A and B are shown apart, each in its own frame.
Chain A
Amino acid sequence: MDTANPTRLLKPEVLSKFTTLELVARSVVDGLFTGLHRSPYFGFSQEFAEYRSYNEGDDLRFVDWNVYARTNRTVIKRYLGDTNTRLTLLLDASASMAYSSFSVSKLEYAKYLAAALAFLGKRQHDAIGALVFDESVREVQMPSSRPDAFQRLLHLLDRTTPGAGTSIDKALSAFAEQVPKRGLVVLISDFYTDPERLFKALRPLIYRGQDIALFHLLDPTEHRPELKTTAAMRDMETGELVHVTPEYIEQKYRHKLDSHIEQLRTVAAREQSDYIQIDTSSPLDESLHRYLLFRQRRR
C-alpha cells in the first residue's frame, strides 16, 4: 500500500484492478481512515463516545478492561459512528448504469461504493443489506448483523449486471413494504427520473424514520459531454436515437442537466435527505467522506 499518496488506491481505475470487491472495500476504507488521521480537513474520527453496560452477547473485544480493573464493572466502549443502525444499500442496476467513457462504468463504481459502504457499516456493527433494482426489484438482501452478511452482500454485488430500464418508484415501494425498522438508506443511481416523483416514492420511507442518502453517479462525459460532430445518441435503456449537434450539447444539455441536479439537491434538502453528486472518475474517498459526514449529522 502506497502511504505516500493515501488517495491513490481510491481511484476507480486502480480499484478496478483489484480481484475482489472485499479487497476493494477494505482498501477503500483503510485508505479512508489513513487519510482521515492525516488530513486536517476530515471532520470525523473514531473517537470514544460513551460507555454502556455489557450485555450478554456483546463482543468482548470492546470491553474496557481498564475500567473493569478499576471499578469491577464490565462496560463496553462505544465510539463515534458506532451506531448499530440498519444500513440498506439500494443499487440501481439499470442499463444506463453500464455507461462509461473510461475503464470504470457507473455500475462498477456503484459496486465499489456499495462494497466500501457495506464494509464501513460492518465495522460499525451496522446491520447491512442491499436491494438491486432496475425496472423491478431484482435481488434483495435484508439488513442483517450476522457475520456472513457482508460476504453475502459482496456476492450479491458481484453478480449484479446491467439490466434493462429504470423504475426507482417500484424499487422504493417494494423496499418500503419490506423494511419496517428505521435505518439508513443509501440510494446509488444515476437518477434519470423526475425529482418530485422520486421523493414522492421516498416519502413513505422518510415518514417511517429512514434516513435517506442519494448518491448521484454521473460519468464525466455524461456530466460534461463533448461532441465534435452531429451524432445520433442512442439511449442505452430504450435504444431510442436522438440526433444532436455539438452546439446543443454545449449549451442546452448542460443547462438541463445542471437544472436537474439542482432540483435533486433542492428537493433532497427539503426532505431532509442528503444528496451527493459524484463524478465516477473521482476517487472514492471523497464519496465516503461525504457519507461519514452524513452519518454524523443524522438524527
Chain B
Amino acid sequence: MSLLSPIYLIGLFSIGIPLWLHLMNRENPPIQDFASNTFLEPTPVASSTNKKLRFRKLLLLRLVLLLVLVFLFAEPIVNRLGLWSSVDTKLHALVIDQSFSMRHGDRWAQAIGKAKELLNSLPHGDKALLVTADHNMKLLGDESTDVTSLGNLLNSLKPGYGRLRYDVMIAQLQSLIDEATLPVSVHLFTDAQSSGLSTRIRDLVPGGATEFRVVPVGFDTDKNVFIRSVKQFERQGEGEATVYIEGLDQDEMPENTVSLILDDSSELSRTIEKIPSGENVARFTGLALKKGINRFSLRLNISDALTEDNQYFFAIESGQRYLAHFTSNTKNSNAEVFLRTAVLADDRFVANKPDPMITEIPVETRLIIVPDESALPKTQISKVDQFVRNGGNALVVTGRAIPSSESITDDSVSRSNVESTIGYIDKSHPAIADTASWREIHIFDPVTFKQQPNDRILISLSDGSPFIIERLVGKGRKIIIVSSLDGIQNDLPTSPVFAPFVLRTIRELAGINNGASELTAGSNLVIEPGGQLFSPSGENLVKLSALGKNNRIELNEPGVYEMRSSERSGAITVNADPHESSMERLGSAFLTDWQSLVNDEPDAISKENPQARPDIQKQPIWYGLLTALFVLVILELLYANHLLNIRRGTAS
C-alpha cells in the first residue's frame, strides 16, 4: 500500500489527545445526594483499576477511529494486480489509421473490416474503445461492450487528409493506457507507411500495454502517382508554375498530362516531362493574372487508386505592391544598392530611393530598411523606432561607424579586430535557410554588440557575439545585421545567401508568403482577433461569437482559403501532406519486431520474476476507510453512552 498524500500522517499526533484525556481523567464524578457531609473529607481520585480497565476499551476505540481518519486524509492506495489478477477483463483499444494514405484503394475498407472482425471475436466481458489517428488522436465515445454500436461507429468513419506519425500517436496513446483501469491491448489498423516512422524506435513503444498488435492493410505492390509540390511566382504581371510529380513509372510518362484551372474558369493542360535533375514536371508559363488573389487548382490526369493527391491547390497574389521604405542619410551607398537589388527581385516590393531631405515615413510603408543606422541622425532613428513600436517592422544594418541611435547605444557597440566566421545559426527562423552557405561568410572586421535580454540570436559569430538578431520593439520588430554591408567589413553582400536572406527577411517582415500561406491538411491556423478566414467555398470559418479573441482553426480540407485580418491578408493554400502519398511501407519483419518490443516485455519480466507486476494498477481504498470510519463513530457513540449510563446508575 502507498499513500498519495503522506503529509496528512502528521495527524497521527492527534492520537495524543485522547491518551492525555484518558490519563488525566478527573472526569466529573457522579453527584450523589447525601444526608450530610459532616463526616466526609475531599479525597484525591484514587487509581481505581476497575475504572481504568473499563475506559481502556473506549480509549482503544477512539484511537482506532483517529487512525482511520488520518489514513483517510492520507489517501492510501493499494496495488491491484493486472497480469496476475483474477479479473481477466481487458480493454481493447482499436486504433484506426485515419491518415490520407488510407484513402488508397480499399485500405480503408480493409481496416474497417478487420476492426469489425476483432470486435466480434472479443471475449465476453472485454471492453473496446475506438480511436482514430492521423495528425491528432481522437477517442470515439467511451469504453463499451456493445459490439453493435461500436460497429456502427466504425461505419460512420471516413479517412482524413492528415498525416500520421507513429511516435506522436504512441505518445498520445500513452495517456490513454496510463489512465485505464483495465489492462489495455492496443490494435493498430494501419497501412504501415514508412513516412509515419520516427527516428527513435523507443518512441514507438507504448508502455504499460499488455498487448500491441499491428494489423497492416494495403499491399506492398500499391502504387501512387501524385503532385508533390508546385513552385509558383509572378513576373511582370504574368504567373508561372512548375508542377512536380512523383510516382510515375518511366514508361508511363508520355501519356500523362497535368491540367491547370484558373479561378474555376480557364483550363490549361501540359504534358509531364523529365527535367535534367531527374524530376518529373509540368510547366505552366504566361499565366494571365488579375489583380489580387488568383486561385489555381491542378489536376493530374492519371487514374490511380488514390485520386485525392492528384489535385493540388496554389495561389498567386498579383498586383499587390508593398512599399519597402529605405531610410538613409546617404544616397547610393553600397549597402543601399545591395539591399535594393535584393528587394526588387521580388516584384511585389517597391523600394523608394532614400532622400535625406524627406524624413517623414510614408503611410503606405510596409516595412523600413535602414542600410546604415550609424549614419542616421537621432531624429530619424527615433522615427524608425516609433514606426516599429507602433507595429511596423524594419530591417536594420548597424553600419561600420559607431552609431548614435538610442536602440544601439554607444556602449553597446565596439570593435573587435579579430576576423570571425559564422558560429551559431538559428535554422528555425523563417529568414534563415541554407546553413552551409552561411558558414562560408567571413567577417573581417567584427563588431561587438551588447544584446538586450529579449533579443533573439539568429546568427552569431564563432566567438558567440551576435551577427544577426531579431529584436522586439513595442508592437513591431527589427531584424538587425550587426555589421555593415559595404563589402569591406564582411563578404555577406556578395555571398549567395545574401539575396535569398534579404527576400525571406522582407517577406517575413512584410507578412507575406511566410510559410503559413502554404499548409498541409491538418495544420492549425491562428487567426488574430478581428480576423476572418474563408473556406475554399467562401464560407466564413470564424464564428461571430469568437471574433473578439484568438481563434485556432484546424484546416483539413484541401483548397485555397482566404485570410483577412489587420496583420495579414492573403491566400492560404492547403494540400494533402505529400509524405502520405508515398507508398513506401514498413516491412513485415519490422512490424514483427515492433510488436515484439511491446509484447515481449511483460513476458520477459514474468518469466524471470514471477512476483513482478508489470501492469499494476492503483486502487484507491478511501471508500472502504470511510465506511469503517462511519461504523467506528457509531460504536464510539454507543459505547460512550453505555459508560455514561453506568455512571448515572452509580450516582443514583
Contact = CB atoms under 8 A, between A and B. Distances in A.
Interface of A: 96-97, 99, 106, 190, 192, 219, 222, 225, 227-238, 240-248, 252-253, 256-257, 260
Contacts of B634: none
Contacts of A99: 33-35
Contact of B31 (A97, A234, A237): A234
A233 B43 contact: no
Contact of B40 (A106, A228, A237, A253): A253
B46 A247 contact: yes
A96 B36 contact: yes
A189 to B, nearest CB: 11
8 contacts: A106-B35, A190-B35, A192-B36, A230-B46, A231-B30, A232-B31, A245-B44, A253-B40
A96 B32 contact: no
B35 A236 contact: yes
A166 to B, nearest CB: 8
Contacts of B37: 233, 235, 238, 240, 242
B38 A234 contact: no
Given A229-B29, A245-B44, A253-B40, 4 more contacts: A99-B34, A228-B650, A236-B36, A246-B46
B41 A230 contact: no
Nearest to B44: A245
A193 to B, nearest CB: 8
Nearest to B38: A192
Given A228-B650, A231-B31, A248 B36 contact: no
**Which of B30, B36, B43, B651 gathers the greatest number of chain A CB atoms within 10 Å?**
B36
B510 to A, nearest CB: 97
Interface string B549-588: 0000000000000000000000000000000000000000
B361 to A, nearest CB: 99
A245 B43 contact: yes
Contacts of B415: none
A190 B36 contact: yes
A234 B50 CA distance: 24
Contacts of A244: 40-43
B475 interface: no
Interface string B425-465: 00000000000000000000000000000000000000000
Given A231-B32, A234-B33, A260 B39 contact: yes
Given A242-B41, A252-B41, A235 B48 contact: no
B23 to A, nearest CB: 16
Given A244-B41, A244-B42, A245-B45, A232 B36 contact: no
A99 B651 CA distance: 14
A232 B38 CA distance: 14
B32 to A, nearest CB: 5
B28 interface: yes
A242 B48 contact: no
A196 to B, nearest CB: 15
B641 to A, nearest CB: 17
Contacts of B28: 232
B46 A235 contact: no
B647 interface: yes
Given A229-B650, A242-B42, A243-B43, A219 B48 contact: no
A257 B35 contact: no
Contact of B41 (A96, A238, A248): A248
B35 A222 contact: yes
B51 interface: yes
A10 to B, nearest CB: 24
Contacts of B29: 229-232, 243
A270 to B, nearest CB: 22
Q: Which bucket holds chain B's interface residue count?
A: 20 to 34
A245 B40 CA distance: 10
Contacts of A192: 35-36, 38
B35 A230 contact: no
Contacts of B647: 229
Given A242-B40, A242-B41, A248-B43, A96 B30 contact: no
B503 to A, nearest CB: 102
A252 B317 CA distance: 117
List 7 A-B pairs, minimum CB-CB distance, nearest first. Answer: A99-B35, A256-B39, A96-B35, A192-B36, A235-B37, A233-B34, A245-B46
A242 B36 CA distance: 10
Nearest to A99: B35
A95 to B, nearest CB: 8
B75 to A, nearest CB: 43
Contacts of B50: 229
Nearest to A166: B36
B32 A234 contact: yes
Contacts of A260: 39
Contacts of B41: 242, 244, 248, 252
**Which of B34, B42, B647 gathers the greatest number of chain A CB atoms within 10 Å?**
B34
Nearest to B36: A192
Contacts of A227: 32
A235 B35 CA distance: 6
A42 B499 CA distance: 148
A260 B40 CA distance: 13
B36 A237 contact: yes
Interface in B7-45: 28-45
Contacts of A190: 35-36
A227 B649 CA distance: 11
A232 B30 contact: yes
Contacts of B34: 99, 222, 225, 233-236
Contacts of B38: 192
A248 B46 CA distance: 9
A229 B47 CA distance: 10
Nearest to A96: B35
Contacts of B43: 243-245, 247-248
Interface string B626-652: 000000000000000000000100110
Interface in B33-76: 33-46, 48, 50-51
A233 B46 contact: no
Contacts of A238: 37
Contacts of B44: 245
A247 B46 CA distance: 8
B40 A233 contact: yes
Contacts of B42: 242-244
A161 B137 CA distance: 95
B319 to A, nearest CB: 107
A27 B580 CA distance: 123
Contacts of B31: 231-234, 241
A240 B31 CA distance: 11
B27 to A, nearest CB: 9
A231 B36 contact: no
Given A229-B51, A231-B651, A257 B32 contact: no
Contacts of B46: 230, 245-247
Contacts of A97: 35
Nearest to A233: B34
A7 B647 CA distance: 38
